[in-house]
Chain A
Amino acid sequence: MTALAYAPFDLPDTDHVAVSATALTRTYGDGGSAVHALRGVSIEVPKGQFTAVMGPSGSGKSTLMHLLAGLDTPDAGAVHIAGEDITRMSDRDLTRLRRKHIGFVFQSFNLLPTLSAEENITLPLAIAGRKPEQDAVDRLLDRMGLAERRDHKPAQLSGGQQQRVAVARALICSPTVLFADEPTGNLDSAAGADVLDLLRTAVDEDGQTTVMVTHDARAAASADRVLFLADGRVVADLQGPTEDAILDAMREAARA
């Protein structure tokens, strides 16, 4: 187990780092009711690493992911994705960035109900005005175990199947980084394990950089590294975690 670790304030090494955060602070509201969600967080996510972010409610883990993904703007500090500072980007540039560099998997799947499984998967390509390569789509459907379900609407799919569609949708563009926000939160353990397997496989086989927010120790155990947040600070950074090590760290973090 590693002690409290603060990442150095170096500029990110763009050859090896997919995402980096430098001294991020984010406060909601002001005056007496101000909530300090992040109080100076610096992290680096190397390319091809599967990072889990854990922490109790209100620890700032969701805020961190939103800032890393360019969905929110920090009060101070910077976020770099593929070497580019995204904190000063216009909405237009951020939109382009999302199309090319970012994939999302949400807790509540967020599939478009009017589109079939296959259409949902190729939606990011359609949005970017690109034609899907049918081979790539077929391979992805196979890998997700969705080949039989490609023409089904989300309402006709189980939760696990819906989340697998969502994972495929996030992978279709081979993004620089895939963000997963509690991807197993709405699933039973078997379906959750399937989804984690898929994420793990993408990391192992394609070197897909992945950042996953979760409060489930078992889910976090499939990551290469676990960052613990508490009160808006990184309180632990665990490499090659086991479920037990994670549970220990969680207890420690809760005491801190």
Chain B
Amino acid sequence: MIRVTWKGLVARPIRTALTTLAIVVGVAFVCAAYTLTDTMSGAADTLTHAAYDGTDAVVVTKTTFKGSQTSDIRAQAPTIPASTLERVRGARGVTTAVGDITDTAQVIGAEGKPVGTGPYFGVGFDARTPGAERLTPFRLDTGRWATGPGEVVIDRATAEDQDYAVGDRIKVAARGEAQTFTLTGIANFAGVKSLGKASAAVFDLEAARTLFAKDGYDRILVAGRRADIAGAAGAGTEVRTAAEDDRFSFDSLETLVNILRTILLAFAAVAVLVGSFTIFNSLSITVAQRTKEFGLLRMVGATRRQVRAAVLLEALTVGLLASVLGIGVGLGLAEGLNALFTAVGAELPTDSMTLATRTIVISLAVGTLATVLAAMIPARRATRIAPVAALRAATHAATPGLFARGVRALASLVGRPSAAVGGAAGALARRNAMRNPGRTAVTALALTIGVALVTAVTVVATGLENESRGALDRRVQATNVVTAADGWSPIDPKVATAIGGTSSSIRQDGALVFGSQEGVNGVDPATIGRFYRYDFTAGGIAADGAIVDEGFAKEHQLRVGSLLSLTAMSGNTLELTVSGIERSPVLDVLGLGPITISHQAFDATFEQVRNRLTFTDHDATDALAAFPNVQSQTKAEFIDGQTAWIGMILAILWVLLALAVIVSLFGIVNTLVLSTFERMRELGTLRALGFSRRQVRRMVRHESVITALIGATLGIAVGLVLALVVVQLLGEYGLAFTFPAGSLIAVAVIAALAGMIAATLPARRASKIDVLKALAYE
């Protein structure tokens, strides 16, 4: 039986290759997902070690909770006083101890805008203390450290990007207006030239305290034996490792890597699913075509089990082959994606690709299992072939089931344009697509999956986008909104003063509420109403109260008048009564979180003194000339900026669609090649009747396009139904069903184009047949 399987594979090299390719893509994505993210994680680890290894301990002021690095809302930690540093320095076992400030500061480029897209590290480094260099990840490349006010060291990538050299006068925005500094040195970060689009400005420590308006330091970095530090630092402090403290947020890098892995694995899942359909289709046809052969095997004494084994063995061989190829292609894909990330500036210090044993095992398992599972039904069908089938001339196609009949009707419908424009070739193509609806259906279904996914998500995302934009449009009453250039970083309160006129600001910090960390907004109750409309379901705004959103209120059984207790990172607590409950939007686009209190209460409790958003009634661009890291947007620009990420998600989905289309192409090519083979004599007849080669090609192409359009139509239908279900479920949050006509037309056009591409090879083969041989073909 092994010989039978092997010969079957070798005798049909094109089909074997296409079947294999269909699963190779999926396996390649599995392999690339793990390899790329393993490599990136490894790089992040290397970076973490290089950055933190010289630091034995970090002393910070004790906080009630550790600010989450990954959540939207970042709580501002309190500083540690200079007196604590003196005590730590006196402790036994401490070799070196220095104060540290790690905040944000943007290096301003030649065009007057911040360089890079962040994070923008603004660091205070105590270069005057001997041995301090082992406590910082920065390694001086040229020049010297900043040792006084008006001096700065920047990272090498930023310097090279802007052609800044030691001795230049450059602008850096820390708090408030951008100021001019003398560039005294250029440094590498943890041994690498750059951190992607991040930038770093390293100031003298004492100068940084003034720049960032800090009473003390953000932390104390210690080299030495750790045991004695806690006692010396005293009550109210906490000793951590540098990695725990993670002041350069490598954790968030890890989060990004995880997101990337999830996206790539989702791609892999779709590719494997679509690939399985292709294999199912291909093997079904193979089994049908080999009916005579299987009948003969049964006649000479093969058992049903042996027949099944022959088919499954074929699948296993293809699966293993595809998996091995997939791992190779996956490594290439990982390299390619890495090069792509480098090209867009998200560079990581990668060594060589890390191909873990786990990756190999998973890739092999996924590819092989998917193939064998897809072969189960065809294998069972093969066992049902009776020995007498060897004697029958040809098998009659089974009566099509309900679904196949539906597909035939659909083929008839979407084939109409082909018949109209394609002449005799188009009309024959339409009939051909209808003649074996079961096969057409399975071929088309591979495409359906991707199209359904994109349709559903497009509808839901468009709904979310509309709802979010609508909610922002209703709520934001300001004509202009002032934010940081990146849209979310906090901005100095001086900005609000500088823009003049009337304005109202929202600042934000994190607090522990009912045991979990939540975002708390500070607003001015007297002016906020002019610029931002709360959609109250109960109560309203009050100078000494809190506004909570409906979902939060429900979760914690809050009503107007209920007591609410907030604990800041510093340990300060605040008791408030709920003054109003507002309707929650379906998406918290602004990332405001559930609680809003007055500036007065906010400033007395929280460390954060900077604003997240400043609403105003005039264009403040001119007034912001001194603040290059701050932008003034019109309401429309602001809404666009805040909802842009939804477009990003959709863009990723369209890439996913492209991938699904590519995989399903293999299936279409496969089916077309088979059909050409089966209809050899018809092709010969047509050629003898005066069908030109071009007409043959056109006929194959039209059949391919019709098949693809069937897939797209089914996919759009399934996707719309899915979307309708989701929209129904989320309807109470104001999500509405939108019919994305433009996107759906785009999907159909892409499918039709894909069909044309898929037809290229089969059409050429069909047009090149030898008429005489084709006529003699049985």
Contact = CB atoms under 8 A, between A and B. Distances in A.
The answer on A and B forming one complex is: yes
Interface of A: 66, 69, 71-72, 91-92, 95-96, 98-100, 102, 104, 106, 108, 110, 112-115, 123-124, 126-129, 169
Contacts of A66: 772
B427 A126 contact: yes
A127 B685 contact: no
Contact of B423 (A71, A100, A126): A126
A105 to B, nearest CB: 10
A84 to B, nearest CB: 16
A112 B692 contact: no
Nearest to B433: A114
B690 A98 contact: yes
A112 B428 contact: yes
B690 A110 contact: no
Contact of B690 (A71, A113, A114, A124): A124
Interface string B678-720: 0001101111111111010000000000000000000000000
A114 B432 contact: yes
B295 to A, nearest CB: 22
Given A114-B435, A126-B423, A91 B772 contact: no
Contact of B424 (A96, A102, A123): A123
B775 interface: yes
A100 B771 CA distance: 18
A110 B685 contact: yes
B689 A123 contact: yes
Given A114-B435, A124-B690, A71 B685 contact: no
- Top 6 closest pairs, chain A to chain B, by CB: A99-B690, A114-B431, A126-B424, A110-B685, A98-B690, A95-B692
A106 B775 contact: yes
B681 A110 contact: yes
A71 B688 contact: yes
Nearest to A125: B424
Nearest to A114: B431
Contacts of A112: 428, 431, 682, 685-686
B690 A129 contact: no
B428 A114 contact: yes
B434 interface: yes
A100 B434 CA distance: 30
B428 A92 contact: no
Contacts of B424: 123, 126-127, 129
21 contacts: A66-B772, A71-B771, A71-B772, A71-B775, A72-B772, A95-B691, A95-B692, A96-B690, A104-B689, A106-B775, A110-B681, A110-B775, A112-B431, A114-B428, A114-B431, A114-B435, A115-B428, A123-B424, A123-B689, A127-B424, A127-B695
A127 B686 contact: yes
Contacts of B684: 110
Contacts of B693: 91-92, 95
Which of B423, B681, B690, B772 is the most central at the interface, judged by chain A CB atoms within 10 Å of its CB?
Answer: B690
Contacts of A169: 689
A127 B691 contact: yes
Nearest to B690: A99
Interface of B: 423-424, 427-428, 431-432, 434-435, 681-682, 684-693, 695, 771-772, 775
A114 B692 CA distance: 20
Contacts of A96: 690
Contacts of B681: 108, 110
Contacts of B695: 127
A126 B691 CA distance: 10
Contacts of A106: 685, 775
Contacts of A92: 692-693
A100 to B, nearest CB: 8
A123 B699 CA distance: 14
A216 B477 CA distance: 96
Contacts of A104: 685, 688-689
Contacts of B687: 95
Given A66-B772, A106-B685, 9 more contacts: A91-B693, A98-B688, A99-B689, A104-B688, A110-B681, A123-B689, A127-B690, A127-B691, A129-B424
A110 B682 contact: yes
A115 B681 CA distance: 15
B407 to A, nearest CB: 15
Contacts of A114: 428, 431-432, 434-435
Contact of B689 (A108, A113, A124, A129): A124
Nearest to B778: A108
A118 to B, nearest CB: 13
A198 to B, nearest CB: 18
Nearest to B771: A71
Contacts of B427: 126
A48 B696 CA distance: 33
A123 B689 CA distance: 8
Contacts of B685: 104, 106, 110, 112
A117 to B, nearest CB: 14
Contact of A127 (B689, B771, B772): B689
A214 B685 CA distance: 19
Contacts of B691: 95, 127
Contacts of B688: 69, 71, 98, 104
A219 B369 CA distance: 61
A144 B686 CA distance: 22
A72 B684 CA distance: 13
A100 B690 CA distance: 8
A82 B608 CA distance: 98
A114 B689 CA distance: 16
A175 to B, nearest CB: 10
A127 B385 CA distance: 40
A104 to B, nearest CB: 5
A124 B688 CA distance: 10
Given A114-B431, A127-B695, A98 B423 contact: no
Contacts of A91: 692-693
Contacts of A98: 688-690
Contacts of A129: 423-424
Contacts of B431: 112, 114-115
Nearest to A112: B682
Contacts of B434: 114
Contacts of B690: 95-96, 98-100, 102, 124, 127-128
A72 B774 CA distance: 13
Given A92-B692, A104-B689, A128-B690, A113 B435 contact: yes
Contacts of A113: 435, 682
A95 B435 CA distance: 27
Nearest to A175: B690
Contacts of A99: 689-690
A93 to B, nearest CB: 10
Contacts of B686: 112, 127
B375 to A, nearest CB: 30
A114 B427 CA distance: 10
Nearest to B424: A126
A123 B771 CA distance: 18
Nearest to A123: B689
B396 to A, nearest CB: 9
Contacts of A110: 681-682, 684-685, 775
Which of A69, A110, A115 is the most central at the interface, judged by chain B CB atoms within 10 Å of its CB?
Answer: A110
A254 to B, nearest CB: 25
A114 B433 CA distance: 10
A95 B428 CA distance: 18
Nearest to B396: A155
B217 to A, nearest CB: 83
Contacts of B771: 71
Contacts of A69: 688
Nearest to A181: B775
Nearest to A95: B692
A94 B436 CA distance: 32
B771 to A, nearest CB: 5
A127 B423 CA distance: 7
Contacts of A108: 681
A72 B432 CA distance: 28
